[in-house]
Chains A and B, each alone.
Chain A
Amino acid sequence: MSLTAVELGKKIKAGEISVKEAAKAALDSISKAEQDNNCYVTVVEEAAIMQRAEQVQKQIDDGILTGPLAGVPVAIKDNMCTEGLLTTCSSKILENFVPTYTAEAVVKLEKAGAVVIGKTNMDEFAMGSTTETSAYGETKNPWNTAHVPGGSSGGSCAAVAAEECHYALGSDTGGSIRQPSSFCGVVGIKPTYGTVSRYGLIAYGSSLDQIGPVAKDVTDCATILETISGFDEKDSTSVKREEYDFTSALVDEVKGMKIGIPKSYFGEGLDSEVKSAVLAAAKALEEKGAIVEEFELNLVDYAIPAYYVIASAEASSNLARFDGVKYGYRTNSQVGLHEMYKRTRSEGFGPEVKRRIMLGSFVLSSGYYDAYYLKALRTKALIKKEFDKAFENYDVILSPAAPTTAPKLGESLSDPLKMYLGDIYTISVNLAGLPGMTLPWGKDSNGLPIGVQLISNCFEEKKMIRTGFALEQTREYERCPQAAARD
């Protein structure tokens, strides 16, 4: 299980490991580790996995499947629809929802021979930064189970770190791939908005949501991204890009590349150990010949309020369909239509989701639309301009992924405002539609992973991937002790 996805894929192709063996290993790992970590909402039944493994094996043997991910087990965040497989968004309101179709990104993985082994836990409807708002229990950080894994893709990131799968898909609306990746010591990419189809991704903030890979290293992430990306006519916000060849950026060469570090990201609230890690990463890049400079990035303080207005507004509308009429949870009390709506939603949604629905409904209501929603949209546009300016001078921006390492369980939810502030480094990337990635860069004094974030301009993932790959070459991948102990 310590192999990366690409390494495992090679061994499967070479016939050294069978697809069934790989799947069985993942299931064994899950059965050992799940009680500690709770990464999954649903694990696919063994018989179904084995049947699928056999089918993939045959296609590999017949030479039909030749890609790098053929036969490799994958975990999918539970907000992506999977036909015939429970999809809950970690919410009670979808406790019995079995989709009739599969999300486009997952279809693409399956076409490449992926074996889906389960659906990972998350913050309810991806709202939260700790995976504690799940209706199915919080996921724990495998590095230290007293800590959160981050969120909202906490289940996916913890599962990769704990080696309960070889790679996973997450989704990122305000940092939901990058922040938990950094807390769990794995690599995660949030691609340029429009790169991966959102068809079948249960929407939180439609204009900000993107699906992306979570894996042990940059090579895996680039490979997975290459597999799941592409124009999809079913998603109108999907973009026809000139190229989707991300793996060609896996080059250990950053000489002459210009790396910018936003000064404003190093102010109050940033943990000193995280700060040193980012500066160390900057130094490592400099040593490889990159030019690293500090620069002013304005409007940083406006990103969080703008984000919470836009994301909540969209969420309040996106989540309206969960009403007990067509699918999912419905209240047991026999009442009229409006009371049924009210009770179903009161009983079915958790407190963080309700908070954002109420916030979102408020900012869209008549008389407040201009003051909040419209202003937030304008702020979003201005933030994008700030980044445009930055990318006139820099190829890649280097920054912290989060102000701290993973907090303890239970610390964050008591103070949602503080939790929202934890998204400060990741949120503007979503607002500006940019690609961002985080990769592990050492640990703090408590032994918890620290992540650094790389951001590049829209459609320039390759610069970011190249920088990440070069950085990664200077260090060994550090396995999570819990996983290593199971060997």
Chain B
Amino acid sequence: MKQYETVIGLEVHVELATKTKIFCACSTAFGGEVNTHTCPVCTGMPGSLPVLNKQVVEYAMAVGLATNCKITQNCRFDRKNYFYPDNPQNYQISQLYLPICRDGKVEIETESGKKYVRIHEIHMEEDAGKLIHDDWDDCSLVDYNRSGVPLIEIVSEPDMRSADEVIAYLEKLRTTIQYLGASDCKLNEGSMRADVNLSVREVGAEEFGTRTEMKNLNSFKAIARAIENERERQIDLIESGESVVQETRRWDDTKEYSYAMRSKEDAQDYRYFPEPDLVPVIISDEWLQEVKERQPEFKEEKKARYISELGIPEYDANIITGSKRLADLFEATTKLCNQPKKVSNWLMVENMRLLKENEMEPEDITFSPANLAKLIELVEGGTINSSVAKDVFEQIFKEDIDPEKYVEEKGLKMDNDEEGLRVTIEGIVAANTQSVEDYKNGKQKAIGFLVGQTMRATQGKANPGIINKILKEILDK
């Protein structure tokens, strides 16, 4: 069989985190009652006019700058004309002729190394409403709450060659955009949506193959599966002497199968023309400079700083900076307790374990840096021991409790009373002659059993250092 190469380009839609919509003052909040975040503008009432939300331009600029794009300082909006009920004006205000950002690139890293993915353009546009099918009445209804929510569409060049590269590119975009605070980029809620343009060609071929566009990809896993599936489908077609049809396909992740939505022949003529209701967006040098100066420290710089200045291991630094939520939490907590390594440990071990157990993302974390910092101080100050600390952390993770109060109320302070402990341990040693025997016969492990017994007897509060010291004194006599 011939060797094939997969060629992939992405169109990524990102919902921007503005409080209000792109062309009116309605709320962008997710999940409101049907048609409550609406007004004459976002429901396409006759005579209504759009007014551009400046924050949308700032976010788009910031994303463009972070992805090394050229900013179009005199850009404008165009109308994309098509009829569909979720599109109340039957045109979408978007950008075709002069998109706000062009010619960018981002560096990605996969197992096969580092490479650049070029960005063709980033443009601003409005989202459409949502159709809801009412089976009972056999009719469709429209919810315009999402109509007019601001989007940017990031269009890459066909520079990716594998699902790994696609995921790395998407993760890079997501982290970057999250660092900017421009979007939460949740694939499952639709605030980040990726359409995959994919074609295959023989290795070494100059020309691209015919591409398809895949829609409805709601998770990284779905994207990876869809890419694998589409690659196989196209290769099978070519191998069996058929040809790939340029079309839009929809991925069904539960069936792991895609089907054709519309072919190029049905492609609509969108009759784009400059939006006459909006004036051109003039981005002054000063404005551009302001946005540049406000750019945050991004993942790579942060990671380097964590390693060199705070002494965090590279692996940990990479994971913590991989999520803006984690990095923010790390920095805020470190600022309070000045123990970066301890903070990193808590985030990497116990926090990660609980996230996984509860099937949560770092974005879902609710506890405050203050309570984690207090916990660390309680441990370091010898107020509680590490096994108690784990239980307390779990309470912080779940309910953001104040560890000082909690330890006080539950009486979890470490038992440092040497005399009292000595009495307890002497009792335990007397009652476990077999273990003592084992220890004396060279079974070092037996001491662990005795420590455990002591801990149990003290409800886990005993200072493990003191237990060890006393045990050794008694046993080595």
Contact = CB atoms under 8 A, between A and B. Distances in A.
Interface of A: 79-81, 87, 89, 94, 97, 99-101, 103, 198-203, 205-207, 233-237, 313-314, 316-317, 320-323, 325-327, 337-338, 341, 361, 364-366, 369, 373
A320 B83 contact: yes
Contacts of B79: 317
Given A81-B47, A321-B88, 14 more contacts: A80-B47, A100-B45, A202-B47, A203-B47, A234-B49, A236-B52, A236-B279, A317-B273, A325-B88, A326-B44, A327-B46, A365-B271, A366-B271, A369-B272
Nearest to A199: B49
Contacts, number: 101
B45 A101 contact: yes
B81 to A, nearest CB: 5
B83 A237 contact: no
Nearest to A345: B83
B85 interface: yes
Of the listed residues A80, A101, A233, the one surrounded by the most CB atoms of chain B closer than 10 A to its CB is A101
Interface string B260-291: 00000000010111001111000000000000
Contact of A321 (B46, B271, B273): B46
B89 A97 contact: no
B278 A236 contact: yes
Interface of B: 40, 43-52, 79, 81, 83, 85, 88-91, 142, 269, 271-273, 276-279
Nearest to A324: B85
Contact of B269 (A99, A100, A366): A366
A199 B278 CA distance: 12
A97 B81 CA distance: 23
A89 to B, nearest CB: 8
A366 B85 CA distance: 23
17 contacts: A79-B47, A81-B47, A103-B47, A199-B47, A203-B47, A206-B276, A234-B51, A236-B278, A317-B91, A320-B83, A323-B85, A325-B85, A341-B83, A364-B273, A366-B271, A369-B271, A373-B273
A201 B48 CA distance: 8
Given A198-B49, A235-B49, A364 B40 contact: no
B271 A97 contact: no
A235 B142 CA distance: 27
B277 A323 contact: no
Nearest to A197: B49
B46 A94 contact: yes
Contacts of A369: 271-273
Nearest to B52: A236
A341 B84 CA distance: 10
A87 B46 contact: yes
Of the listed residues B83, B88, B271, the one surrounded by the most CB atoms of chain A closer than 10 A to its CB is B271
A320 B279 contact: no
Contacts of A326: 43-44, 88, 142
B345 to A, nearest CB: 53
B46 A320 contact: no
Contacts of A325: 85, 88, 142
Given A206-B277, A207-B276, A236-B279, A321 B90 contact: yes
Given A234-B51, A337-B85, A365 B269 contact: yes
B271 A364 contact: yes
A359 to B, nearest CB: 12
A101 B40 contact: yes
Of the listed residues B46, B48, B51, B52, the one surrounded by the most CB atoms of chain A closer than 10 A to its CB is B46
Contact of B89 (A87, A316, A321): A321
A135 to B, nearest CB: 15
B88 A317 contact: no
Contacts of A87: 46
A59 B51 CA distance: 34
B81 A320 contact: yes
A361 B90 CA distance: 13
Nearest to A94: B46
Nearest to A374: B273
Contacts of A97: 46
B40 to A, nearest CB: 6
A219 B310 CA distance: 77
- The 9 A-B pairs at the shortest CB distance, nearest first, are namely A320-B90, A364-B271, A206-B276, A207-B276, A202-B46, A200-B47, A81-B47, A202-B47, A321-B44
A228 B25 CA distance: 24
Contacts of B45: 81, 99-101, 327
Nearest to B275: A206
Contacts of B51: 233-236
A99 B273 contact: no
A208 to B, nearest CB: 9
Contacts of B40: 99-101
A314 B276 CA distance: 8
A364 B279 contact: no
B88 A236 contact: no
A206 B384 CA distance: 71
Of the listed residues B45, B49, B85, the one surrounded by the most CB atoms of chain A closer than 10 A to its CB is B49
A320 B49 contact: no
A317 B278 contact: no
Contacts of B89: 320-321
A199 B432 CA distance: 89
B47 A317 contact: no
Contacts of A100: 40, 45
B408 to A, nearest CB: 56
A237 B271 CA distance: 22
Nearest to A366: B269
Contacts of B88: 321, 325-326
A364 B272 CA distance: 7
A317 B277 contact: no
A323 B49 contact: no
A169 B207 CA distance: 62
A201 B47 contact: yes
B25 to A, nearest CB: 10
A207 B83 CA distance: 22
Contacts of A94: 46
Contacts of A327: 45-46
A323 B90 contact: yes
